[in-house]
Amino acid sequence: MKSILKYKTLLVVATLLIGILSCKKEETAPNNGNPVVHYIRSTDPALSDSLLVGSFMGSLIAIVGDNLANTRELWFNDQKATLNPTYITSKSILVNVPSTVPTAVTDKMRFVFADGSELLYDFKVNVPAPLLTGTKCEYVPDGGTMILDGDFFFEPIKVTFADELEASVVSISKTRLEVTVPSGASPGAITVQTNFGKVKSKFLFRDDRNILLDYDTKIHETWTAAIANAASNPDPAPVSNNYAFFKSASDGAWQWANELTMQYWAPRGRGNVPVANGSIDDLVFKFECNVPIEWKDVRMEIFFGPYAEDHGRDAPGTVFARWKPWKAGPFKTDGWITVTIPLSEFKYGKDDSDTDEVGTRKIDNLTNLTNVVMMLFGPADAPNPVHVCVDNLRIVPK
């Protein structure tokens, strides 16, 4: 069976070589026996007329030239390709571009021949620029570890904060970076740069735009959810000074309790100022959250109310988001995380079925909404302990 497969492989390669060598290209002058590369092309017959100046890692390419039979080594940047003598002739070489990311980028292909001579040929190994998709938590103290998610994170790599302060890299994988936040880092975008490009985050480190509540200078009705004072060393430790928390030893179905609601009434706060301006399609509701014990049941209702000294849950037209992170199983965080809820997910009326995933409402006009309420309230299978901490409530662009 192995010999049959080997025969078939050789037959495919032979066919490719015949196709390569039979392709009519413009005539080249005699080269007196010196190795020369005329062009590089794809081995895909459908792309036979397309010449390559670069290719992605792992791609099979055909190098067409003269006097190539004595090639002993072939390097792409600083990465050595694996050569198979069967696929090397005087006129062509079939080779896979190395799958290892280059460290020193020269954009050159380097041939080493049996007599020790070398030949350089321009050729790019196409490695994507880094992609930055998000972070575990937007608020991290100086000296803390920030986790960045994305793709194409390759060394050498540089991470800088808004004020050009460079972070030290703790760990790196293709899709995740851990960096130490430099002392004195300011709010703003984070930039990640590799040899293959750079990207600036859409999210902002310590995003300070349109903060509705921070529980330091912007606080809610304090007879509702308790405030953990950072100076008293609360458990869990704060993410940025004081925070609010919902806590009960036994939270069950439809329990309307002060400690399980967080109500901000604008008349007692910043006045008749809308929670945000703009289209709900362009905005998200964000906050930092820490859930130190397993949260198993009872959804969190989040809604914005009209200007009044009232929670507004029963006001006509009130639209709710239902946050149920435990839906796939008990939910617990490893420290603080940033939660993002698009305003388009505020789509439920208070009497909509708990099983309704579509909703019957939407926010029509943000300018009429000034109050903010978060509360653990809804159906439950059985009472369970709960401890949910929140900070830095804000509405910002996506």
Cα-based distances in Å from 148 to 152, 277, 309: 12, 29, 41
What burial class does residue 392 get, using C-beta atoms within 10 Å of its C-beta: 0-12 exposed, 13-18 middle, 19+ buried?
A: buried
> Position 318: which residue type?
T
C-alpha closest to that of 92 among 114, 64, 67, 69: 64
Phi, psi of 230 (to 5 degrees): -60, -30
What string of pLDDT tens digits covers the 398 residues of the chain?
444 334 334 434 444 444 444 444 434 444 568 999 999 999 988 776 789 999 999 999 999 999 999 999 999 999 999 999 999 999 999 999 999 999 999 999 999 999 999 999 999 999 999 999 999 999 999 999 999 999 999 999 999 999 899 999 999 999 999 999 999 999 999 999 999 999 999 999 999 999 999 999 999 999 999 999 999 999 999 999 999 999 999 999 999 999 999 999 999 999 999 999 999 999 999 999 999 999 999 999 999 999 999 999 999 889 999 999 999 999 999 999 999 999 999 999 999 998 888 899 999 999 999 999 999 999 999 999 999 999 999 999 99
Number of Cβ within 10 Å of residue 76's Cβ equals: 25
* Ordered alpha helix ranges (H), the chain: 2-22
Cα-based distances in Å from 43 to 50, 86, 104, 295: 10, 16, 27, 55
> Position 108: which residue type?
K
How far is the first Cα of the chain from the last one, in angstroms, to the nearest whole number? 56
**Separation CA 183–CA 168 (nearest Å):** 11
pLDDT at residue 32, as a whole number: 67
Question: 3-class DSSP state for residue 174?
Answer: coil
pLDDT at residue 15, as a whole number: 45
C-alpha closest to that of 36 among 65, 75, 61, 72: 65
Q: Please answer whether residues 338 and 206 qualify as being in contact, where contact means their C-beta atoms are separated by less than 8 angstroms.
A: no
Q: Please answer whether residues 343 and 284 qualify as being in contact, where contact means their C-beta atoms are separated by less than 8 angstroms.
A: yes
Largest CA distance in the chain: 93
Q: Please answer whether residues 160 and 167 qualify as being in contact, where contact means their C-beta atoms are separated by less than 8 angstroms.
A: yes
Q: What residues pair up with 167 in beta bridges, in sequence order?
A: 159
Q: How far does CA 169 lie from the centroid of its chain?
A: 17
Q: How far does CA 14 lie from the centroid of its chain?
A: 44
Q: Please answer whether residues 244 and 375 qualify as being in contact, where contact means their C-beta atoms are separated by less than 8 angstroms.
A: no
Question: 3-class DSSP state for residue 366?
Answer: helix
**Separation CA 385–CA 113 (nearest Å):** 72
Beta strands in 243-370 (DSSP E): 243-251, 261-264, 283-290, 300-305, 320-323, 337-342
Number of Cβ within 10 Å of residue 271's Cβ equals: 9
pLDDT at residue 46, as a whole number: 77
pLDDT at residue 44, as a whole number: 85
List all residues 6 or more positions away from 34 whose beta carbon is below 8 Å from its beta carbon. Answer: 67
**Domains plus CATH for the chain?**
2-126 (2.60.40.10), 131-200 (2.60.40.10), 211-397 (2.60.120)
Cα four-point dihedral sign 339, 167, 151, 200: positive
